[in-house]
Structure 1
Amino acid sequence: METGHKVGFRLGGRHTKLLVTVLLASLFQTTALSLPAVYAQSASTTTELTRQTSFNIPAGSLSAALMQIGQQASVRLSVNAKNIKGIRIAGFKAVMATQDALDMLLDGTGLIYEIDPSGIIIISRFQDAISVDSDDASLLPVIVTASSGDPVGWQGAPEWVYETPRAVSVIGREEIKNSNARTAADLFAGVPGVTVADNPQDPGISINIRGLQDQNRVNVMIDGARQNFQKAGHDETGRFYVDPAFVRQIEIEKSAISGVGGAGAMGGVVNFRTIEAKDLIKPDRSYGVEGKLAAGTNAYNFNGNLAAGIKLTDNVSFAAGISKKNLGKYQAGNNGSLEFSKTGQPVVFTGSETLSWLTKLNIDLNDDHTLVLGALGFHDAFTNSTIGGDFRNESDITNITGTATYTWQPDDSWFDLEAKLWANRTHNDQYRLPRTSKGGGFDNDFALNSLGGSLQNTSQFDLSALSISWNYGIEAFKDVGKSKSKPDVSTVDLDSLWIGADPSGERNVYSAFNQLAFSYKDLVELNFGLRYDQFNLKGTPKTVEYDLSGNTSVVGQNISNSGNRFSPTFALAITPLDGLQFFGRYSEGYRIPTVMETFLGGEHTGGGLPYLPNGALRPELAKTWEGGLNIQLDDQFIENDTLRLKFSYFNRKVENYVALANVAGATLDLGSFELQIPYYQYGNLYERINTQGFELEAFYDAGSFFAGVAYNRSYIDLPNAFTFDSPYTEHGEAADRVILLNVAPKSKLSANGGLRFLDERLTLGGRIIYVEPDGQFGFFSGGYKTDVYTVVDLYGSYEFNENATLRVDVNNLGDVAYVDALTAGEFPSPGRTVTAALNFTF
């Protein structure tokens, strides 16, 4: 701990230099963000200060320790971020009064604390403290809340990211607010090991982590509610719809986990956490409003949102927001070459109109119990087609998510309980314009309804010199797929056309888990996890059968599948020096087949390419080893500077990978020749898919300037050919064609740096992104040829006051013609685009 003035006395008053305030209270572990009940009078806070509380404060940053004090003692604290930057503490565990815990933490730092009339505990430098009785309005503190600790790392990552012994990344609230993103895909450009498959004609995205994507291999959630929608086509199948306007933080786990969210997934977990009233309301106010107005060139027509929060009572708060985005048909870059389209020309059907909304109700039932009810809606209308505008589909997408979260955090280290219920409905109402093939136009209705819940508790206790944390619980969810089609031509046989590519069916998943963490004197930490997954699928898909003359008949089948497995995790972390941590981890992930993979049936639109269901699919299994280090350094080169770094290496083997391929089909006798009609079906590949690589993210901030870098390199081992297993092939028979396997880029580099002027109100910076795509695998891989590309962006922002900031971005400064990795080669990315945005609060 740094040396300085002795603390331990209490002053009344306000102080003048409180420019950035962190609201620290009732955080759920390190990632949950619920506030404790609001205490209106300082007398109530004084009572809390004298109450005996069981504290468990780990060694680390003072910022993180104050967050733990706020959570464990249910008090509200605010502090100027600059005043605690770079201060480290040794940590302690004891039962004591909150005031004694604060004295212990602040001893020797030159900081004191005081209680203002609203009951907030304000921490300040001794020389900055003033009398609470002052009537000078100019001395009132400017308070800006931060939802999960100071953003100290890459892309606004909070401190806990660099204290977590595994591969995890976070995109913080300020990073999201400052991004004039066309879609949520743009937010992930700087995340190492993560790539987004982004069809520019569809606002939905598919997140690829270390080469795994689609079919729920990566569990994507909004506030813990799964987004499981799948839609078959010639590109990515898993499409997730969210507006970044209401996202306060994105948390990314890069491998299988044993806790909530890990059921049935093996490639990682991505959780989009949305805003609450506390993110909008300043501690000295009863309401708050936050908004954004943005527009730009290259068909970035309008992007605006408005959110408001209000305290209805001391214990009840409510937030609501609305967002509107209008994007037109953008132009590709001029400089470079494109294989499938023209440079500098508009890219067909890349426009869309998005309307989103959010409501959230927070209820502090009492000191220990909270209830949060939330709903989020997304609607978009768009058209997709080939690059020539042929074969048009007009889609109307609606995505509705609802959550109910109850937490119980008593003054007892054995209980830290959370219960959650959630529901999600993603609905695509699509009209497929008439083709030259049979059937004319179609109204297609694709929907997936998901319902789930979880119950977990964390108990903390000591056993001799060991500190033990035990997290245990259950989770379950159900997916129900509903699809139907209505042709323009009433004589068309629906059963032989668009009935199966997004099939109907039901999937149920049940899971239980335990995680034990043993910590010895903040030096060594051991983690053991065990998850049990069980599933069943059932449905009645329809298949098309041919006789020798080519006549077809439709047969319904009752298909079911079930299975279960125990999946372990193990991790070891060693912290030999304060701010330096080494870690290693082993995990197994069990990926359960989806409704689409199991019940695929019918024919491709237009006929002639029949699909088959597969009730014998085996779940995929991923086994991952990883190791790495975390670095937290403060005041190393100049006063108050910070350096945060995370590095990880991984080696992963996937067994029973599920892929779409053609299998043995009907042979038709047409007289002078025979015609082989292949069936297309999802099946397991016998060969393992091996991937290894490393990831780095580092960020240095010296106040007047900053610089950061993220880089990843991956190596995938694919056999020259695959053997395919399904009920319609003999064991080990070679598949004629695997349709497509997504292969992550070989490497990706993102570097960001800038300067701050005028007391850090003016920021000027730039970013460079370099991507080296890898070749895709399968029959469709020729359509995904993309070249190495480098894109440079410039940006600047000016903070007029604490309530208004102007941001200007120049994206793709060089007007480079390129195609994003994992995107169909005929759809290039936007050329040079200039945007301006005004972010405001009041």
Structure 2
Amino acid sequence: MSSTHVCAHTFHRAHLLSAAAIFLIPSFAAHANELPGKERENAASTRQAAIKKTPEQSSRNTSKQLGAHVRTGAAIPISSNAAERLVVTATRTPQRIQDVPASVSLITRQDIERRMSSTLADVINRLPDADMAGGARTEGQIPEIRGFNGRDIILLVDGARRNADNGFAGFQTPLYIDPAFVQSVEVVMGAASTLYGSGSMGGVMSIKTLEAKDLLAPGRKWGAELDGGYQSANENAKGAAKVYGKWGKFDGLLAYAGQSFGPISLGGGQKLSPNNGTSNSALLKLGYDITDRIRVDFGQSFYYIENYRPANAQAQKFTVYNSSTKTYIPYYRQTGTRQDDSNIHLTTKDSDGKEDGRLTLYRSKMTSWYGPFIKTSIVGETQTLETYGADIQKIFRENFGYLGSHMFVVGANYYRDINHTLQKNGQGGGTIPDGQQQVYGFYGSDEIKLPYGIVLTPSLRYDRYNTFGSGSSTSTSGAILPKITLAWHPNRNWMVYLSWGKNYRAPTIQETNMNYAITPNSYYFLPNNNLRPESARTYEGGFSYNKSGLFSRKDHALVRATGFYEDATNLIQLSVVGHHWSPLYKTNEINYQYTNIQHATRYGIELRATYNIENINLGVSYSHLRVRDANTGANLLAQPDKVAADASYTFPKIGLTATYNLTAVEAQDYDSTIARRRPGYMLHDILFDWQMPGKPWRVNFAVTNLTNKTYYMYKSIASNNDVPEIGRSFRFNISYKF
């Protein structure tokens, strides 16, 4: 990519900061009426009372207190009713989002419906320091948080881990799920190894699927929904059906969703082809309240996608050399992936109705295949990754008077990954060798609430892994992972926190043993049996400011900011380690290998804010990240600066909400791997959500990438795949509730 090309598309950091400032000025205004002394204690008591309620009770009561000050349905990245929403992933206990001493983003069901998302990339790409990079195809989209991806991020679906990393079946997403089934997504930016163990160097992305209680209208025993839609840019037609109900102590949900898609219109008028396929998925949820304090849930889901495309889902064009004809021919195959999940949850509550125990058992299985390429000797291959896991947690609450009130959280986790590769000729092998890995850990934390609004949370974990590789030696190692967080709530508007913790991540079978050095391929993947576990020390601090009645009796403002610094050793990264001469291509081709970066540092900031008054909702987020090799000074993979801003207005008499979204991304022109650099860009989206008053109909319409911008997302994995993202798309969806 030429320097002229980069400069022509550069969106300077000064412009990003200016855009952020325009939206943030209202939220950073004067914060009068702070409450000292006795009033502060009363505010703390109010917070304690809210925490004692169940999430549903707390949400309802907070909504009543705020009244017209808080309106639901703000645009991404932060919903305007964030003050009344509870999140659990960051601390494993329910907390209001502004009280969480961590960098957390929440995506709601309403956010997904308004964008009529066919994949979760639509909503995740607008979060600070989070992306689904890898191109416009569903199969190529890979989650990234703070520059981490693959197994450096823990992906959870209803508590079950999705452990396929990027090397699985090529550059391919580990997250197959239809957005029609998603109730919410919590994204914790930053290390969370103390609570979740190996793999959370970059963060945790926790997805909750729909349940009957999420959809049932008050006083109804059953319900059903039908919806369908179309997106022009990828010829995506989709439909879904759900039926759900509650009968005494039983409740259940059964849902189906299907999509078809074709060649993708990219920004500027290019086509990404071939891309012809379908997806089908189903979800079954059953629940039973054994008593008022004990509940058991069962979930079963599957997702299947089939597509005719290049073997590398992130590539625009791909060719191989046909030795019989001595020509280069397109390398396209029929591919398919099936994701199956089963889980059981046993949940207990204390006498106050607060959850105090949870047991999760799960099985997750991803099977990906691609057919033989009939014009050459290249055979087909099937790869399977199966994960069995268990997670148990218990919460104890005690008040020790002047020593503070304590909430003890203790638990244990275990999972086993089983990887198997089978070629179409019945032989094992392929790019990723067979093998298994098991990981187990024990953790505990104590949230201590002291006088004057001080909350101290020490935590500790022991984690250990064992890797069993076919044809390779067994490796094992462990880690002791402490963390401590100090938060201060000086009044009901402010929260300030500092934290420090150790984190680690075990190398996977794929990273250690992946071996693909076969002519006539234009690239080699080389094994590395000397990989060591990643480890890091993370320092983080931040604040939140939450106030109703800032300028008016009917407004509400929320600001949350986080700054962090991380010192990481043995960071595992897919690197270019050299070249090889290809006699068929008559040129030097790239050698890739997973390597340990001896000493890397990363630092950054994440900022989120909303302002709501009457029917007007404003939101903005900003993120800044830099990662460097501490020994050489080289800039390592790091997502570019990003601003995501929103403005929406609701016409209450007709039930119509109009929303404008802006996404502005600075040029990534500082990565020392020049092939990864990308120009900056700005995207504009217009969304309309019409919920007809008193009617069961809902209509959504949108135009995304309004100016048909040609833009390239920063891809930290497939740096050589320079494919534009999806272009202008007209989206329409209609739904009906019975």
Equivalent in the alignment of 1:368: 293
Match of 1:539 in 2: 469
Question: In 1, distance between residues paired with 2:656 and 2:47?
Answer: 25
1:813 aligns with 2:706: yes
2:629 counterpart (718, 732, 739): 718
Aligned to 1:685: 597
What is the CA–CA distance in structure 2 between the aligned matches of 1:558 and 1:262, rounded to whole Å? 25
Give the 3-state SS of the residue equivalent to 2:113 in structure 1.
helix
The structure with the larger Rg is 1
Q: Find the counterpart in structure 2 of residue 833 from structure 1.
A: 729
User: Does 1:293 find its partner at 2:231?
Assistant: no
**1:622 counterpart (518, 527, 536):** 536
Matching residue's letter, 1:485:
Q
Are 1:636 and 2:550 matched, yes or no? yes
- Aligned equivalents of 2:353 and 2:657: distance in 1? 44
Deviation at 1:612, TM superposition (A): 5.2
TM-score between both structures, scaled by the size of structure 1: 0.72
Does the 8 A contact of 2:367 with 2:384 survive in 1? yes
Report the counterpart of residue 25 of structure 2 in structure 1: none
Say if 2:184 and 2:208, in contact at 8 Å, map to a contact too: yes
SS of the equivalent of 2:96 reads: helix
Q: For the Cα contact (< 8 Å) 1:224–1:261, is it kept in 2?
A: no
1:233-244 aligned within 5 A: 236=171, 239-244=174-179
CA distance in structure 1 between the partners assigned to 2:233 and 2:521 by the alignment: 39
2:668 is the alignment partner of 1:774: yes
Q: How many angstroms does 1:200 deviate by?
A: 2.1
Match of 1:410 in 2: 350
Residues 558-614 of structure 1: CA distance to partner in whole angstroms, max 9, x if unpaired?
321100110111111111121111111112211011120123235346479775544
Q: Cα–Cα, structure 1 residues 611 and 177, in superposed 2: closer, same or farther, change >3 Å?
A: closer
2:85 aligned with 1:85, yes or no?
no
What is aligned with 1:170? 106
CA deviations on 1:219-239 (whole Å, 9 max, x unpaired) are 011011111113538984663
2:620 to 699, 709, 716: 709
Aligned to 1:791, the other structure's residue is in SS state strand
Q: Which moves more between the two structures, 524-533 or 830-839? A: 830-839
Cα separation, 1, equivalents of 2:592 and 2:317? 27
- Measure how far apart 1:250 and its partner are: 0.4
User: Secondary structure of 2:552's match?
Assistant: coil
What's the C-alpha RMSD, in Å, of the aligned pairs? 3.6
Deviations 1:292-343 (A, max 9, x none): 22113223431221222111x3111011111111222121223xxxxxxxxx
How far apart, in 2, do the equivalents of 1:444 and 1:345 lie? 31
Summarize the Cα distance change of 1:150–1:659 in structure 2 as closer, same or farther, 3 Å threshold. Answer: closer
Change (3 A) 1:832 1:60: farther
Out of 747, 750, 754, the position equivalent to 2:644 is 750
Q: Deviations along 1:337-375, whole A, 9 cap, x unmatched?
A: xxxxxxx12221344421111111111011111101001
Partner of 1:425: 365
Deviation of residue 522 (structure 1)? Answer: 6.2
Aligned to 1:547: none
Find the aligned partners of 2:469 and 2:251 in 1 and give their Cα distance.
43
Given the alignment of the two structures, is residue 525 of structure 1 paired with residue 471 of structure 2, yes or no?
no
- The answer (yes or no) to whether the contact 1:201–1:349 under 8 Å persists in 2 is no
Q: Which residue of 1 aligns with 2:154?
A: 219
Q: Is 1:378–2:303 an aligned residue pair?
A: yes
Q: Distance in 2 between matches of 1:161 and 1:617?
A: 38
Once the two structures are TM-superposed, the CA of residue 70 in structure 1 deviates from its matched residue by 4.6
1:794 maps to a residue whose letter is I
Q: Of residues 391, 415, 418 in structure 2, which corresponds to 1:477?
A: 415
1:649-668 to 2 correspondence within 5 Å? 649-661=563-575
Instruction: Give the equivalent residue in structure 1 for 2:266.
Output: 332
Quickly say closer, same or farther: Cα 1:700–1:412, change in 2 above 3 A. Answer: closer
Question: Partner letter of residue 611 of structure 2?
Answer: Y
Q: For 1:52-91, list aligned pairs within 5 A.
A: 59=43, 65=49, 68-70=52-54, 81=63, 84-85=66-67
Q: Write the distance in 2 (CA, Å) between the matches of 1:705 and 1:692.
A: 34
Distance 2:651 2:523 in 1: 63
Alignment CA distance shift 1:612-1:820 (3 Å): closer
Residue identity in the other structure for 2:731: T
Task: Tell whether 2:441 aligns with 1:511.
Answer: yes
TM superposition shift of 1:503: 2.1
For residues 545-564 of structure 1, the aligned pairs below 5 Å read 557-564=471-478
Q: Percent identity?
A: 22
Corresponding residue number in structure 2 for 1:207: 143
Code of the aligned partner of 1:684: N
How many angstroms apart in 1 are the aligned matches of 2:670 and 2:436?
31
* 1:452 positional shift: 0.5
Deviation at residue 179 of structure 1 after TM alignment: 1.8
**How far apart are 1:684 and its partner, in Å?**
2.1
**Residues of 2 paired with 1:648 and 1:359: CA distance?**
38
Q: Secondary structure at the match of 2:722?
A: coil
After superposition, the C-alpha distances for 1:637-673 in whole angstroms (9 at most, x for unaligned) are: 2233211111000111221012345779999xx9xxx
Judging changes above 3 Å, is the alpha-carbon distance between structure 1 residues 249 and 412 closer, same or farther for their aligned structure 2 residues?
closer
> Which of 540, 552, 575 is the equivalent residue of 2:489?
575
1:395 is aligned to 2:329? no
Pairing 1:334-349 to 2, within 5 Å after superposition: 334=268, 344-349=269-274
Q: Which has the higher contact order (CA 8 A, sep 6+)?
A: 2
Q: Does 1:447 align with 2:373?
A: no
Query: Relative to 1, partners in 2 of residues 1:246 and 1:62: Cα closer, same or farther, differing over 3 Å?
Result: farther
Q: Give distance in 2, aligned partners of 1:218 and 1:170.
A: 17
Distance (Å, rounded) in 2 between the aligned partners of 1:764 and 1:456: 43
Distance 1:281 1:831, change over 3 A: same
Which has more helix, going by share of residues?
A: 2
Secondary structure of 2:512's aligned partner: helix
Taking a change above 3 Å as real, the CA distance of residues 290 and 645 of structure 1, as seen in their structure-2 partners, is farther
Cα 1:804–1:662 shift into 2, 3 Å: closer
**Which of 76, 81, 85 does residue 152 from structure 1 map onto?**
81
Q: Which runs of 5+ in 2 are unaligned?
A: 1-40, 88-94, 319-329
Paired AA for residue 809 in structure 1: A
Query: What's 1:786 paired with?
Result: 678
The amino acid across from 1:174 in the alignment is Q
Gaps of 5+ in 1: 1-56, 89-143, 335-343, 541-556, 724-740
Deviation at 1:191, TM superposition (A): 0.9
Contact 1:231 1:502 in 2 (8 A): no
| Pair 1:765–1:513, CA change in 2 (3 A) | same
Range 528-537 or range 823-832, more displaced: 823-832
Taking the aligned partners of 1:78 and 1:634, their CA distance within structure 2 comes to 17
Distance 2:523 2:66 in 1: 65
CA contact (8 A) 2:103 2:189 kept: yes
Separation of aligned partners in 2, 1:676 and 1:758: 63
Residue correspondence of structure 1 range 41-60 to structure 2 within 5 A: 59=43
Structure 2 CA distance for aligned equivalents of residues 412 and 475 of structure 1: 27
Which amino acid letter does the alignment assign opposite residue 395 of structure 1? T
Aligned residues: 662
Q: Mean alpha-carbon deviation: is it higher for 149-158 or for 300-309?
A: 149-158
Q: In structure 2, what is the equivalent of residue 341 of structure 1?
A: none
Classify the secondary structure of the residue corresponding to 1:367.
coil
Please give the alpha-carbon distance, in whole angstroms, between the structure 1 residues aligned to 2:437 and 2:164. Answer: 12
Over 3 Å counting, the alpha-carbon distance change for 1:469 and 1:63 in structure 2 is closer
Evaluate the alpha carbon distance shift between residue 641 and residue 605 of structure 1 in structure 2; reply closer, same or farther with a 3 A threshold. farther
